[in-house]
Amino acid sequence: MVADTIHLQTSSGLVHPSVNVLGYEIVVDLPIHTLILSAIGGAFVLRYAYSWLKLLAELTIIPGINVKSFQSRKTSTWALVTGCTSGLGLEFARQLAAKKYNIVLLGRRQEALDDLAKEIESKYGVQTKTVLVDMAQAESRSTAFAQVEALGKELDFGVLINNAGVSHEMPVTFAETPLAEIDNIVQTNFLGTFHLTRVVLPFMIARSKSGPKSLILNIGSMDGRVPPTLLAVYGATKGGLSVFSKALAEEVRGQRVLVNAVTPAFVISNMSKIRKSSLTVPTAKVFVHATLTSIGLARGAQGRPYEMTPFWAHAFMDYFVSLFGYASEMAGIKIVDYVHKDLRRRVLRKRARDAAKGKQE
């Protein structure tokens, strides 16, 4: 049964769309411009509803790519982890070793590297190699990465975790940031990652032609997502690392190398100087587990290809910063500005107290 003709008489002169169905003219009870606006509004609602449901599904029921899928069946596979003697790097090394990856450990302190190598070999029954490197020093990088290149000719490099990074000693305006501090941050966070990736990538491309896919995870920061006042240089390096990751990901996608930028907010670490976990501040162990079980999923980074915000609380933060465009972005910037200014005040007060104590002694 087809609905009969619906005619509306209007004195406003508005045009009402109509359609002929089986000989019956159907006149819609809305002006055409209202229909267009309704369709646009509906598209926006659907877009946000889809991204919200996708976020919830990726946090609860959709599994990430199994990290063991990057291992070769023909030979033992190696994962390289930078900045591995504490924090996130330490946990990446341990948890990848638990998945039976052999580990190339890269860090600045040989004694700490040796201790970690013994722990991993004893606990997980895998092999390790250590490479001493100071990412902030060009000569050290050159020597260390020559060692890595030599290892790449013998070993199966399947995973690279670019985790090494440094930040400012404390929140500071750009105008007051020492040039040496700028160089240290840029060399470590940018050039160290670029140079090591350039050395390792050809080996990954070669292995993945006839073998399993390879994986590169570049550890960024929410400070590269929300512009961080008083940490401008650090934020710039982490934002740039995200752009680098996405460009590289598209370059090598057809060569079976998966590249993801990983976006954490605060995590317990030496860099954050936070010592107690909370709802929004996970331990390094919890964060790394969230990362390795959600490879290939955006989670909080909805709508941003080749990027992931894996920990659930950080994912919600990231999602809501993007939700209302300019308004939510500015709200995020203002919140970060307040947090960093407050942190700077507290650091300066502590230094003043310590200085006063020193004078009394």
Q: Which residues are catalytic?
A: 234, 238
The H or E element spanning position 130 is strand 128-132
230-261: buried (b, 16+ CB within 10 Å) or exposed (e) per residue?
bbbbbbbbbbbbbebbbebbeebeeebbbbbb
CA distance to 79, 95, 153, 240, 278, per residue, from 200 (Å): 11, 21, 10, 20, 36
Q: At what angle do helices 232-252 and 179-186 cross, to 10 degrees?
A: 20
Tell me the two tokens of residue 71.
Answer: 């291992």
**Block residue for tokens 């490879």:** 295
**241 and 248 Cβ atoms separated by less than 8 Å:** no
DSSP tag of 4:
P
Q: Residue 288 phi/psi, 5° resolution? A: -65, -40
DSSP tag of 310:
-
CA dihedral 179, 181, 182, 187 (to 10 degrees): 120
